[in-house]
Structure 1
Amino acid sequence: MVIQRNITEITIEEMAKILSDCDSAASCLGHNLTWKGIFGKPRKLVMDTAILLCQAIDQNAPQKPIRFVLMNTAGNRNRGINEPVSMRQSIVTGLLRLFLPPHTDNEKTADYLRKEIGQNNAYVEWVAVRPDNLINEEEVTEYALHQSPTRSAIFNPGKTSRINVAHFMARLVLDDQLWNTWKGQMPVIYNHSKDEIK
């Protein structure tokens, strides 16, 4: 079933009905890279959608927790494990937080999952996938997963193809072992560079 609607117009009751037969949900929403997309409304598109999905799941009160996968960004630090960042990156991130609403939206959405949904929610389990600089590729390639960034998302970004992100997100909802490895975490995904592939 394909539903074409503006996500901001869907009520909790409608979303609960949509999700009633689902055992997983994924959000790959982002802001358009236009003036209106970056500075216009809705400024909290990603967070409001995550809240909508989680509240709809909560309303359904499923017998088994629903898996929720969020596409986030390597530019967002996981405050739950106090990831170290350089002073330079902290300054730039602070400026992004002030002047680029989409960055704040990504940060607050991850914080909502960590703090409000948490690790022991009866109805929602989550993973926030953090790709680095997104690129387009035709096919899935080898990729690496890390608990935290291994490079600076601002000063030395890696590359992650959109198709690899989609592949990993699909594997998360289908593979119990992979899900249990990353549940409640914010894994970073990078494409393997050619010299890294053995």
Structure 2
Amino acid sequence: MTILVVGATGATGKLVVKQLLDCGEKVRVIVRFPDKLSETILSHPNISVISVGNVLHINKHKMREYVKDCDAVISCLGHNLTLRGIFGPPFTLVTDVTKLICHAIKENKPERPIKYILMNTTGNRNKNHRETVSLAEKCVLGMIRLLVPPQRDNEKAAEYLRVEIGQDNPEIEWIAVRPDSLLNLDEVTKYSIFPSPIRSAIFNPGKTSRINVAHFMSELIINEELWEEWKGQMPVIYNDDSVVEEGNK
């Protein structure tokens, strides 16, 4: 199996690449700065590195080549957590790359559906499940959506998959993984998956380690039963201690 990973030099993307390589999968990455990958990854026999100046500058013909023969795509793209990264261009990075890759997949006319995993956020509601939030949370999220471009970008990217790709696309199957507040841990710990948030992303957020997100996304690709369980959905992932804490209230 060959998996294309975009956002592979990010905090979660690096962990996804390592998880997949450790499982014996072939990984193709599109990166701006290859030296941000560890030497262990760069020297791995199953890694293929595509170095580009800016992923948004890849034309549709090149992207068709990059996704050709791939069985799956994982997007860990996000905006840099700096003033320029949050409030400056590109404002629709995640959405534009999602569209670019999905268009390339469709133009290649694969014989069977290609899996697409989008790393998203619990701050984004799944309208297919009619998820509701309190009035106060709705007001805060509305302000964040208005003032913070990455929030709008994450929502638009997931909405493109939900509405434009849909549930019965013959060429693309998708899952948008929604972690809560991210933290760094060195090892995979117990975690739980839910169809919708069990906590308020604004007023009572839980915790999700990046390595657990990477593990879950890798398992989705490798485990066909798990993929069938969650395809076309937006599962929420929490570390188990956040679930226990919420259950004790």
Asked if residue 96 in structure 1 is aligned to residue 144 in structure 2, the reply is yes
Q: Aligned ranges for residues 48-67 of structure 1 at < 5 Å?
A: 48-67=96-115
Highest RCO, 1 vs 2 (Cα 8 Å, sep ≥ 6): 1
Equivalent residue in structure 1 for 2:235, among 170, 184, 187 = 187
Percent of counterpart pairs with the same letter?
Answer: 55
Return the letter of the residue paired with 2:49. Answer: V
Tell me the residue number matched to 1:119: 167
**Residue 4 (structure 1) aligned with residue 77 (structure 2):** no
Deviation at 1:196, TM superposition (A): 3.8
Contact 2:207 2:242 in 1 (8 A): no
Distance 2:59 2:109 in 1: 17
Report the aligned-residue RMSD.
1.3
Aligned residue for 1:129, secondary structure, equals strand
Query: Separation in 2 of the partners of 1:82 and 1:65?
Result: 27
Q: Give the equivalent residue in structure 2 for 1:161.
A: 209
Residue equivalent to 2:20: none
Given the alignment of the two structures, is residue 139 of structure 1 paired with residue 207 of structure 2, yes or no? no
User: Which secondary structure state, in structure 1, belongs to the residue aligned with residue 51 of structure 2?
Assistant: coil
Q: Deviations over 1:105-155 (max 9, x none)?
A: 011111100100000111000000000000001011110000000000110
Pair 1:82-2:130 in alignment: yes
Segments ≥4 residues shifted beyond 3 Å: 194-197
Cα displacement (A) at 1:4: 2.0
**Deviation of 1:81 (Å):** 1.4
Residue deviations 1:152-195 (CA, integer Å, cap 9, x gap) = 01100000011110110111111110000000000000011189
Instruction: Give me the TM-score of the superposition, normalised by structure 1.
Output: 0.97
The count of residues paired between Structure 1 and Structure 2 equals 197
Letter in 2 for 1:162: R
Unaligned runs of 5+ in 2: 1-47
